[in-house]
Structures are given as C-alpha cells and as structure tokens.
Structure 1
Amino acid sequence: MRTAFLRLARADLLARPGQTVLTAVAIFAAATALVVTLALRAGLDDPFAHAQAETRGAHMAVHGDLSDADVAALAALPGVVAADARAHDHEQATLNDTTVEVGLEALPAADAAVDRPHVTEGRRPQAPGELLVERSFARETGLRVGDRFALGTVVGLAVTTEQATYPRWDPGLIWTPDVTAPGRRVGVRLEDPEATDAFAAAARRALPGTRLEFTDWHGVRDTITDQTRTNAIVIGINTLLALFAVGFTVATVISGRVLAQRREIGMLKAVGFTPRGVVALLVGEYLAIGLVAALLGLVAGAAIAPLLLEPMANVLATPTPSALAPAPLALALAAILAAVALFTAVPALRAGRVNTVDALALGRSGATGRASRAAGVAAALRLPTVARLGVKDAFTSRSRATLTIAALTFMVVTLVAALSVEATFHRVIDDPALRAKPWDVRVEAPSALAAVADDPDVAAATTITGLQVTGPRGEIEARALGDGFGAFPYAVPDGRMFAKPGEAIAGRGLYDELGLKVGDELTVQAAGGPVTLTLVGRHVEPDDDGRVLIFPAASLPEPLEPSAVIATFTPQADQAAAADRLERATGAAAELPEEEVRGERADVRPILLGSSLLLVAIGLVNLLATLLLVTRERARDFAIFKAVGLTPRGVLGVVNAGGAALGAIAIVVGIPLGLLIFRGVMIGMNPSEGTDVIGTPGPFALALTIPFVLAVTALASSLPGRKAARTPAATVLRAE
C-alpha cells in the first residue's frame, strides 16, 4: 500500500510539473520571508537586554579618582557578583573642523566580566595608537575604520551599554590600550539588577569623602528605548504584516491547488480510496514539496536577513543579531510544514466528501454555472464581455479568491503603512516640537548664550537645563527653560504652553502616573527647596514614556547651571551652515533636530523597503498561483470560447480582468485598513505620543498604490493568460 501511495504521489507531481514548481516557489518565498521576519522580530524582542547580554553590561558604573584599595572596597560590597576597573580620561579632539569631547577608556580584556564592547566592524585594537570607537559616536562624526586623527587610527567600531547613544549621551566613547589617567571607571554587575540605589548608598558609605559619580543601567536603557521606540514600532508593524501574508500565501496556494484536484480525488475514490486515504496521500505529497522548498527558503532567508538586520541593529543601537540562530530557523521550518499540512488536509477533507460522480463529471462540487455576485456587479457596471468573464472566473472558487484578496490586501496595507511612516517622519521634521525639541539648534555650550544670540541667523536664544526633581512618587525628569522661553513653544494638544514662572507643562505619562489633570498643582523638590507648579498643559513628549515636567527656570528657588543653549533661526537662514558657524564660534557641538530625524528615517528606510519588497513578492506569487489554477479549471470554457470566436487576445484579456478584479478589491479594502492599522498600532504601542505625531499620507501618495498594485496583478496575469491563449481548443475539447 505504501508503494502505491508513493507511486501515485510521484505520478501526480510529475503530471503537472508547472504547477508543482509554482507550488514549490510559493512555499520557498513564504519560507524565505518567514526566516527574515522571525530574525527581525527576534531583534525587536527587548533589544537593550540583548545588547546588555552581548556586552556583559554593568548594572552600575562608578566614576572617580579611585585607588586600587577603593576598587577592591567597591568589589567587596554586598550583592556585587563581578567588577571591572579601567582608566578613564576626557580629551578634546577635532573632527570635521568641530571640537568634540571624547571619553578615552582603557581597552578591557576580550573576556572581561563587565562592559566588554561588542565589535561590529573591524577588529579590537592590538597596539598603542589603535582605537575602537563606539558606533553611534562614529556615525555622528563620520569616523570609519581606517580613519586617522590626532588620537590615533580607528581599527574597529563597537556597541556598548556603558552609556546611551551619542550625542544624546556624551562624551563619545573610544577604547584604546594606552590610557593612563587618575580617573577610573568601575563597572559592577549585581546579583539583583534592581538594587542599584542600595549599591550607590553602600558605595558612599564605603568611601566617605570620595567624590563619586554613578551611571545606572536603568537610565541607559530608558534613553535608548525612548530613542528607538518609534522605529521599533515601525519595524514591528511590517514584520507582523509579513507573518500574516506568509500564512495567507501558503493557505491560498496549497488549498487552491487541492481544490483544483477534485476530479483526481473523484478518480481515487472510484478505485477504492477512502476519504482518509485521499487526505493522507495529498498531505504526504505536499509535505514532500514543502520540505524541499522550505529548506531552500531557509538558506535564502538566512542569506537575505543580514541585509535588513544590520540597518535594524543601527536603528536600535544593538549588536547585529545572527540570521543563523537555530531557534528561528527551526521555528520557520516547523511553521511552514504545519501550514502546508493544515491547508492540504482541510480542503482535501472537503473534497473527499464530494459525490464521486459529481467530482468526476465537473471537477468541483456545487458547480451550477450560476454567475457570482462579482460577475453580477460587472454586468451592472456594463463592463465589456471579456471583463465580465474574467471577473466570473476569478471568483470560481470563493474561498481561494478570498484568501488571495486577503494576501493582496496585506500587500496594500504594507505599502500604506510605509507611506504613513514617511508622512509621520515628514510631519516631525517640519515641526520639531513634536519631538519635544521646539528649537532649530541646540549648542552644547551652557555659557555660550551671548555668542549664539549674536549670530546673524539666530532669531531667538535661551538656555535649557536638564534636572531631576522629586515628586510625590520619586524622581521626575524635568527641564527648565531660561528667559525668552515664549519663542520656544512646545506642542501642547491639551491646555496651553506655560506663560510665566510657577506654571508648567507635562507629558501624558506623568499625568497618568500621578493621576493629575490640566489645572492641578504639583509640588516638587528642586534646587534645594519646594516648588509648587500649576500644570497648564500636556505636551507631546517621546522621552521616559512621557513622564517629563517642563517649566521656566525662574520658577526655581535658586539658579542652576544650564545644560545647553537652544535657538531658533530666521526663516531665510541656511540651517546647516549656521550650525557649522555656531560650532566654530563656541567650540561645542551644535545639534539640529531636523538632521536627527532625517538620520532615523534613513536608517529605517532599508528595513521598510526590504520587508515591503518581500510582501510584494509574496503577493505576486500568490496571485500567479491563483490565476494559473483558474486557467486550469476553466480550460474547457476557454476552449469553447475560442471555438465560437474568442481570439487569443480576448482570452488574455479575460485572465487579466480576473487579476485586476482581485487587485481592485484589495486596493479598496487595503487603503483604509492600512491607515487604521498603522494608527491603531502606533497608539497601542506608543500611547504617550502616538496620537499626536501620526502623519497621514496625502491623496496623491495613496493614489500611487493603485497603479503599483495593478501593475503587480498585470505581471502575475501575463503567464497564465498567455498559457490559456496558446492552448489549442481542439486538444482540450478532445480530452473532454
């Protein structure tokens, strides 16, 4: 019996090699997309935790002029499981005609127990004068492997969790073997990573009179997470859509082909096969195809994935994940084979229940010759006869047509989501207040207010001070703006911008955490005393999940040293040239929020493009499979049409019309669905600012999806259409 099964399966696969190859190609495409998608999603699963694990990141770092005895005392504190001390110094370096502050650090051993930088490009330094540069600092300053400057030669780039990405956190980090300085940095890993406050208190008690500065891993994580949240959401949306598209592709291709084999199923039943035997035969047949195609897809996916994983790692500030991780590959193979088995067994069971005589006579159940509703709509619209026939044929199998429309709809949804991402980036670029940066330039020189204000292209300038204040439930991140703050209005969807000392605005997260509303008063401890602030508005705040408080610096009981100078430019100013001029005048970095957003958009574009192309390829294969099956099922009808005078061009038009009908429905459903899905996911994954920053593509941009999808359907229709047009009518009718 087993031999008979094998012979029948082999004969069926070889009888229609084109269909067999197409099925294999569809499974291959699905497996390739699944491997890439799972690899991307693995990278999205807590990227900071992945980076910290790769680098053995410290839970707390202690900076100060520390002796060996001091280091030993810190390492012996309760709860410390590992410690590593290294020399640390600050230097000034000139890069691209700009002076930047550099944190020079002694290169740790490759197997250091704490804070070992993970090399992403090049190699580790091996001799004095060789430099390993932190990746975000290198990208910001244009440093590449092989570059030489005053401090040495760059031989490698690396990621670390010692601090967040540059320039949000500075100075820029560089590791080199030849650092000698009194300053030391001691990184410690704790048995309980949450016990950082207890460790800091114990360190102060152990080293009384020693000035210590601490870097808590929570602060590093929160900053990196805040910076990468939007990009992570964007990547997450695309990968989720890809997973759905893969499922629909396998379902459509496999179940569609099984349904097209009802005549063969009737013959098997006529010679004695039970419904269970029919299912076993077909499942085994398609699993054989699926196994070979899926294995090839795993290889292709593992080769393609690094092209998207590297830019994703840059976006998320993590080491580049491996595309050869056994777990995602095994999961992809298991998922593909399970989908093949499921979507073979279900339609095979349905087909097995069809009356044998009907299956032999018609090749499908329930064939009544009655026009579908879609054909009725085509007739009501007075479409040409060729178009009506194409619409009718496309819906010969409603279940297959529905699955194909769903797969094409997901392709449209992905395109709309990509357009929505572009619209969101454009909106944020045009209005930096939507990133809580209502200025054109930020100069990291707190004492340079006068120099910045005197620049001819500067319209207004003031200071900004970052500080921690103590609220009812602990520390709150805060910012204080200097005099002239009225020229720097934040985006305030609810309430208004503060207008005088004693008023404040806050992000959504702070309102939610403290149970406050606009108009309430909030008392905090800041600058040595209590400060009572009236909350007059809610501003858009991407940092710290919106748990940020902003108020005039004059509200504080004592003045604080500003963190930076912020300024707006005149409308006619060349912002890039003005920023360069300010850097030369102040000797400090000048950050343009617009350039930061443009950089993020450039980073995320390859990922969006790659995942979108995968979905387009899946949609193309899916539609091609559907139309080939329709052509096969309707071969007799096409032969009759040609016998009564339908030209080969007319047959091609029928097939093209069927594909266009499926694509048109996908466009009508996919465009609004894409807008809703993008908005819903953005709000759900980023409640603190999602509703306030979402951009909507314009009508012209959305209209571009129409010719694109129709072009895909025309491309997919060309092969089955030409095949149907070239098949001689006499050959088909003689077989009947």
Structure 2
Amino acid sequence: MTYAAALRIARADLAGRPVQTGLTALAIFAAATALVVTLALRQGLDDPFDAAQTATRGAHVSAYGDGDLSDLAHLPGVAASDDRPVKRAVTTLGGTPVSLGLEALPATSAPVDVPEVTDGRRPSAPGEALAERSFAKESNLRVGDTLRTDGRTMRITGFAVSTEQATYPRWRPGIVWTPGLTGPTTRAAIRLDDPEATDAFKQAALHAHPGLRFTDWHDVRDTITDQARTNTIIIGVNTLLALIAVGFTVATVISGRVLAQRREIGLLKAIGVTPRGVVGLLVAEYAALAVAAGILGLAAGTAIAPLLLKPMSNLLATPTPSAFQPLTLLASLALIVAAVALFAALPALRAGRLNTVDALALGRASLTGGASRAARVAAALHLPATGRLGVKDAFTSRARAALTIGALTMMVITLVAALSMEATYSRVIEDPALRAKPWDVRVSPGDGSTQDALQRVQAEPGIARATTLASFPVTTARGELQARAVGDGFQAFPYAVPDGRMFAGPGEAIAGRGFFDRLEAKLGDTVTLRADGKPFTVKLVGRHVEPDNDGEIVIFSRATVPNAPQGDVIADFTPGADGTKIAGDLKRRGVQAELVSAEVRQERADVRPIVYGSSALLVAVGLVNLLTTLLLVTRERARDFGLLKALGLTPRGILAVVNSGGAALGAIAIVLGIPVGIVLFRALMSAMSPSEGADIVGTPGPLALALIVPCVLAVTALASSLPARNAARASAAQVLRAE
C-alpha cells in the first residue's frame, strides 16, 4: 500500500465518522489539558523556597547593624552583597498596632535580594511602597491602600515575595519596601560562594562588627518548607491521581475506538494490507489526530493553569510560576502522542491477527462469555429487562469496559481524595496537637518580658490556662537540632503522642520521628543534649506528631533546662469563649496573638481552589471518557437496537437501556473507588511525609462519602444522554435495511 493510499484511507476514516472523530479528539484534548495543568502544579511544588530564592536572587545571610557594613563584602567567601537602610516602625491596621520593617527599595539591578513583584507595580517615588505578599494578605491590605507610619504616609503600589524572612505572621515584622528610606540601621544582604558556609561568614562578620544580628537562609527555608508541607502533600496526591486518570482516559478512548473499527480492518486485510500495515495505518491515523488535538489541549492547559497556579503560589509563598514552559509543553505533547500510539497499536495488533471473514462480520466475531455473565448478574439483582440489556451491552467488550471502569474509578478516587483533604483539615482544626500546637493561642511578648506577657494573658477574660513555650537549638552527637521547653502547667497542653506517652516531669522528653531517626534512638533511650554549651540528659518516653523541621524536634518541661530562653506564651480558651475577640484584645494591648485554628483554616481556604479545580477537570475528563464509550457501544449495537424497536421497544426503553449501561459502569467505579481512594490517600500521605502523614490523615464520614454516589450518577446520566437520544431517534427500518 502506498503512502498516498494510506493517507486517503486514514482521512476517509476520520472524516466518515465526524462525531466519533470529534469525541476522540475531545478526549485527547481534555487529557492534554489536564496533563499540562497537573505538570505545572507539580513543578510549582518542587522546593518552593528554591523557586523563590532563584527568582529574587535571595540572600544566604542578612546582617543587621548600625553604621556602614560595606566592608562585609570583602570577607572570604562572599560572592555578592548589597547594603540598604532599614527601620522599625508601627502602624495601625484595623484598630490594632502592627510592627513594620521598613526597608529601602533596592534597584532591580541589585545583585542580591530583589523583591519579586507579584501584584501591582514597583514603587517609583518616596511616597509609594511595596508590601511583602504574606503580610499584605494577613493584614487584608490591597493595592492602592495607604499606610501611615513614622510620620509619613505611603500608598501601596504592589505586593512582592522575598526570602529575606519567612511568611508573616510566623516571622515578624511585616516588611514594606519604599524608595528613599534613610536611617542609622543597615541590612547587608550577602550571597556566598558556598551557601552552606553561613556559620563561617557569621563568625568573621562578628569579628569585624561585634553585636551584629543575622538571618540565615536555612532558617527561612525550614519555616517556609514546614509551613507548606501538609499543603504540598495534599496537592501532590491530587496531581498524581490526575496523571493516572489521564492515562486511563487515553487508553479507554483510543483502544475502544480501534476495537470498534474491526470491520474496517477486515476490509483492509481483504484488499491485501498486511497486519503490520494495518497497525501502522491506525497508529499513524491516531497519532496525527493526537498531534492536532494535543496542541489545542496544550494551549487550553496553558490558559487554565494560572487559575490554579496563582492560589498555589500564594499558599507556598513563592512567585507564581509560568505555565508556558516550552520543554514541559513539548514533553507533554510527546507523552500524549506516545500514549495514543501505544493504545492504538495494542488493540490493532489483536484485531490485525483476526481471520478476515470474522473481522468483516458485523459486531464482534467471537463473543466471549463476558456479556452473558454480566446479564446473569443483572438478572440476579432483579433488574428490569431494559436494565439487563444495558448491563449486557456495557460489557460486550470486557477490555473497553475495564478501562472505562478504571477511568471512572480514578475519578471517584480523586473525589475521595478531596473529601479526605477536608477530613484531614477538620481533624487538625479540632485537635491542634496534631500540628504540635496543643493550644488555642500563642502570644509573642514583643519588646516586653515573657513573664509580663504571661500575667497579661492569664488576666484576660476567656483564658482558661496559660504557660510559656521556648524554642531553642540543642547540640547532639549528630549535629544541631531544635528543642522546645514548656513551662509550669505543661500537663494541660498535651501533645499528640501515638507512640509511648507524654513526658510527666523533669528529665523526660518526647521527640518527633525525625529526631529518633537522626539519633538512631528508640523509646526508653537516654540521650545527652547541650543547650548554650551546657550538657543535660533526657529520657525519651514518647514520639509526638511533629510537622516542623522534618520531625527533628525534642520537647520537655522547662524544669529540665531552667536556663532556657523565655520564649512565648501559650494559652487555652474557656469553653464558648470568642477566640477572635480575645486575640484582638491582646493585640490592642500591645502583644502579638496568633490563633492556631485561624492559621489552619486559612491554609484550607488556600488549598481548596487548587484541589477542587483539578478535581473538576478530572470529572470533565471522566465525562468525556464515558460519553465516548457509550457512543461506541450504541454504534456497535445499532442492529440490536433496531431489532428491539421493531419488536416494540419504545424510545423511552432505548434510553433506559443506554442509561443502565452507564449507571452500571459508574456503580462499579463507586464500589471500587471509595475504599481504594481511602487506602491510597493514606498510603500516599504516609509515603510523602513519613514524619506526620499517617498521624494527621483523616477519613471522610459516611455522609460525606455518600455524596459521591449522586455525583457519579449525574456524570453517567449526562454522558448517557447523547448516545441514548441518538439510539432512540434512529429509525429501525433504516438501521435494518443498512444491514
């Protein structure tokens, strides 16, 4: 067969069935769109801190001190530096005093730490300002708002991200950049030849300028990464499921379409085309269709992706990545075309080996027992006659039915994952100990002492109990780790301890999974730690759930280390107390109060558009998948429908037959997808976060899972409507005459 002849055959085949060709192209288009969106989300999840530091040329060390610090640029190991004036100030937002860190806006050509504008524009005059994005979001600031502070008024022209410090309010003060700022305090932003050599640089800098304060990029990275960890896990699980669903969709549509062309394959063989030629022709035909539909899908995915990338970047405190990544787009197109070619070649090889006479026969030449078994199951369930016919037709091709069920099952699994996300967040909100924060509010004393803040909090109406919490580094035989010391009354603030028990007195401690792994320790071991150079020992009596620092944290009572830093104040509310009002009152009294539940609720609100957006995309893919399958079924069974109509089956009965087939496939997907989704979500959470995933994951309740049933049935009904109407409208006389 010549190339020209093959081209004519392929073109005629595609043009001769415009509806099936259009639906096949639509399925490829939907798969390509979903693939681009999910890959773009995956790229945004790969080390969010690294993405922000690259975009902003972030500093490895920030040194703060009075006077000229330009000589720090000449210290060994310094690759680049930039000095800028900084000033502490206070403004009032919503009736509450808020600390600001004013900083001179660096030039866009500065070698270090240039804020990346994400909304609005850069300031161009001294009366304008650029606000750090997480601070603006937490403070409900908008572009165009005015800040009054330090005897000046500044109009906010935009928001930006920076790795100068981690997200607000976990790191304070809120950063605001403005042109022309002057002041006695300088911040030297330093990039090093070796980013890991921060300790050596700080020692040399202190030798030159005693009294300097530093911010290390390791601390900023750890905070940003820890804060984004749970959200990253949930988004990652959802995108992984999306990629699997895309594969099922392409496999279902293409392989089912090829199997439906068995008669055409018989005609090709009858005119002398070899099995290899048949396979090559079909692969080329669908590969060409994949290229055309795939390019359109890539364009659509590039347009849709920013709708999910923007909330994800807000959540992870990173610049919004571009969805237009040429290499990613080319890889996506190549993946789609390769998948289409593979799923066209496999059934084409099977069909090419058929006897020519069997292939030319109408319908499937050698029916298996699959349909009859399906019919027997339907009869055992006492389904009406139309339901039995629909179930039998849906399973005429067992391979196609299996692929369709697989695609619908992935859709159900994705919906279960979204519900599991909600259950996980609800569980963490109800039990903040699962975030290693077994309190309602945390109060920073600011410029005052911890004891004064503790007394102020204890005197606040609505506070049931309060104590202190200090975080500080400790040195172990395996390097530096983090420790927390809880003050008197720690028994009222129990951590979540799945293994062992909570510490009961001085000398006992609990630790995260990472701490045990790092020290190769086990419950009951006694370890020696050093704080401020002084050794002390603790007995490990429990493992607590710890999301921060990869679980490399140890917690004990303050009496274990009496000379520990003062730290913050933690407190619980009395039952029924208005936590938001109490936190607001504390802020107005000059201390910074952070509600634990507010932080988690905000994270949930941020992650919802991403998860639900990608889930909706997969529901659309599943809809196209089932629609294509049912159209193929009705086409193959056209003669049977004609006979049934000739025997008196009404158009409403035809509708019931087709709808029953789609509902049967959807019901099986529900039965399989719900338990698999629960188990898979838990397994992926555990695999992606060994330190906390298995401990915090929640399981949707029966009522929540029940919502999946009408959702899937609605999808199957919608997918069944078009093929059912086509079959019902077809004239029995015309169908049978064509046969």
* TM-score normalised per structure 1: 0.97
- CA distances 1:57-100 after superposition (whole Å, capped 9, x unpaired): 11122221241xx422x212222211111112211221111112
Q: Following the alignment from structure 2 to structure 1, what is the Cα–Cα distance between the partners of residues 738 and 527?
A: 86
Q: Which amino acid aligns with 2:329?
A: L
Q: Which deviates further from its counterpart, 221-230 or 193-202?
A: 193-202
- Displacement of 1:661 in angstroms is 0.9
Show CA shifts across 1:142-188 (max 9, x none).
11111102131111100111111111111111111132122211122
Pairwise CA distance, 1:658: 0.7
Q: 1:38 is matched with which residue?
A: 39
Alpha-carbon offset, residue 280 of structure 1: 2.4
After TM superposition, give the deviation of residue 729 of structure 1 in Å: 1.1
Match of 2:189 among 187, 190, 206: 187
| CA–CA separation in structure 2 for the residues paired with 1:479 and 1:129 | 43
**Separation in structure 2 between the aligned mates of residue 636 and residue 219 of structure 1, nearest angstrom:** 71
Distance 1:40 1:311 in 2: 11
Query: 1:496 offset after TM fit, Å?
Result: 2.0
Answer whether contact 1:118 1:159 (CA < 8 A) is retained.
yes
CA distance, structure 1, for counterparts of residue 230 and residue 424 of structure 2: 10
- Counterpart of 1:382 in structure 2 is 382
Alignment match of 1:464 (pick from 466, 469, 472): 469
TM-fit CA distance, 1:551: 1.6
Deviation at 1:705, TM superposition (A): 0.6
Matched letter for residue 582 of structure 1: L
Q: Which residue of 2 aligns with 1:396?
A: 396
The amino acid across from 1:328 in the alignment is: T
Deviation at 1:363, TM superposition (A): 4.1
2:262 matched to 1:257? no
Please state if 1:611 is matched with 2:614: yes
1:284 Cα offset (Å): 2.4
| Structure 1 position 572 matched with structure 2 position 573 | no
Q: 1:701 aligns with which of 679, 683, 704?
A: 704
Of the three residues 140, 149, 157, the one matched with 2:159 is 157
Amino acid at match of 1:564: D
Match of 1:448 among 426, 448, 453: 453
- 1:461 deviates by 1.2
- Structure 1 residue 588 corresponds to structure 2 residue 614: no
Q: What is aligned with 1:62? A: 63
**How many residues get paired?**
729
After superposing the two structures, state which structure 1 stretch, 429-438 or 616-625, moved more.
Answer: 429-438
Deviates more, 1:332-341 or 1:717-726: 332-341
Following TM superposition, where does structure 1 have runs of at least 4 consecutive aligned residues deviating by more than 4 angstroms?
none
- TM-aligned CA distance change 1:514 to 1:368, over 3 Å: closer
* Deviation per residue, 1:29-59 (Å, 9 max, x gap): 1111111111111111222111111011111
Matches within 5 A, 1:678-693: 678-693=681-696
Q: Which residue of 1 aligns with 2:129?
A: 131
CA distance in 2: counterparts of 1:119 and 1:203, whole angstroms: 31
Q: 2-side partners of 1:356 and 1:529: how far apart?
A: 87
In the alignment, the residues of structure 2 paired with residue 368 and residue 555 of structure 1 have an alpha-carbon distance, to the nearest angstrom, of 74
Matches within 5 A, 1:351-430: 351-367=351-367, 371-430=371-430
State how far apart, in whole Å, the 2-side matches of 1:491 and 1:402 are. 43
Q: For the Cα contact (< 8 Å) 2:255–2:343, is it kept in 1?
A: yes
2:25–2:290: 8 Å Cα contact kept in structure 1? yes
Q: In the superposition, relative to structure 1, how do residues 59 and 370 fare at CA in structure 2: closer, same or farther (>3 Å)?
A: closer
- Please list the CA deviations of residues 85-143 of structure 1 after superposition, one character each: whole Å capped at 9, or x if unmatched: 11122112211111122111111111211111100001111111211111111111111
> Per-residue deviation at 1:202?
2.7
In the alignment, which residue of structure 2 is the partner of 1:285? 285
Alpha-carbon contact 1:527-1:556 (below 8 Å) kept: no
> Is the 2:42–2:239 Cα contact (8 Å) retained in structure 1?
yes
**Displacement, 1:260?**
0.3
Q: Check whether the contact 2:275–2:353 (CA below 8 A) recurs between aligned residues.
A: yes
- Measured after TM superposition, the shift of residue 663 of structure 1 is 0.5
Structure 2: runs of 5+ lacking an equivalent: none
2:731 matches 1:733? no
The Cα RMSD (Å) is 1.4
Contact map agreement 2:290 2:337 (CA 8 A) in 1: yes
Corresponding residue for residue 268 of structure 1: 268
Matches for 1:323-722 after TM superposition, within 5 Å: 323-367=323-367, 371-445=371-445, 446=450, 447-527=452-532, 529-558=534-563, 560=565, 562-585=566-589, 587-722=590-725
CA contact (8 A) 2:370 2:395 kept: no
Deviations 1:391-422 (A, max 9, x none): 11111111111111110000000000000000
SS class of match (2:245): helix
Provide structure 1 residue ranges, at least 5 long, that are not aligned to the other structure. none
Whether the aligned pair in 1 keeps the contact of 2:287 and 2:340 (CA below 8 Å) is yes
Counterparts of 2:91 and 2:129 in 1: how far apart (Å)?
Answer: 13
Indicate whether 1:723 and 2:726 are aligned.
Answer: yes
Q: In structure 2, the residue corresponding to 1:150 is in which secondary structure?
A: strand
Q: CA deviation at 1:253?
A: 0.8
What amino acid sits opposite 2:475 in the alignment?
T
In structure 1, the residue matched to 2:321 is 321
For residue 380 of structure 1, report the CA deviation from its aligned partner.
Answer: 2.1
Equivalent-residue separation in structure 1 for 2:109 and 2:334 (angstroms): 36
C-alpha distance in 2, partners of 1:528/1:46? 33
Aligned AA (1:185): R
The 3-state SS of whatever aligns with 1:264 is helix
Shift, 1:474, TM fit: 2.0
Please say if residues 137 and 167 of structure 1, whose CA atoms lie closer than 8 Å, have aligned partners that are also in contact.
yes
Partners of 1:507 and 1:23 in 2: CA distance: 51
Structural mapping, 1:185-264, within 5 Å: 185-205=187-207, 207=208, 210-264=210-264
CA distance in 2, matches of 1:495, 1:283: 60
**What SS does the aligned partner of 1:82 have?**
strand
Q: Secondary structure at the match of 1:448?
A: helix
Q: What is the TM-score of this pair, normalised by structure 2?
A: 0.97
Q: Report if the CA contact (8 A) 1:528-1:558 is conserved.
A: no
Conserved? CA contact 1:528–1:557, under 8 Å: no
Cα separation, 1, equivalents of 2:500 and 2:564: 27
CA contact (8 A) 2:265 2:352 kept: yes
AA aligned opposite 1:484: G
State how far apart, in whole Å, the 1-side matches of 2:147 and 2:315 are.
27
Report the alpha carbon displacement of residue 261 of structure 1 after superposing the two structures with TM.
0.6
Q: Which amino acid aligns with 1:200?
A: K
Contact 2:96–2:587 (CA under 8 A) maintained in structure 1? yes
Q: Partner residue of 2:11?
A: 10
Q: Aligned AA for 2:510?
A: I
Contact 2:371 2:393 in 1 (8 A): no
- Which of 75-84 and 570-579 deviates more? 75-84
Could you tell me how far apart the structure 1 residues matched to 2:372 and 2:237 are? Answer: 35
8 A contact 2:363–2:637 mirrored in 1 = no
What does residue 83 of structure 1 align with? 81
Contact residue 470 and residue 564 of structure 2 kept, 8 A: no
Query: Helix, strand or coil for the counterpart of 2:652?
Result: helix
Equivalent residue in structure 1 for 2:101, among 77, 94, 103: 103
- Per the alignment, residue 294 of structure 1 pairs with 294
The separation in 2 between residues aligned to 1:156 and 1:373, in whole angstroms, is: 66
2:132 touches 2:175 (CA, 8 Å); kept in 1?
yes
Deviation at 1:368, TM superposition (A): 5.7
> CA offsets per residue over residues 535-565 of structure 1, 9 Å max, x none?
22221111101111112222224253x2221
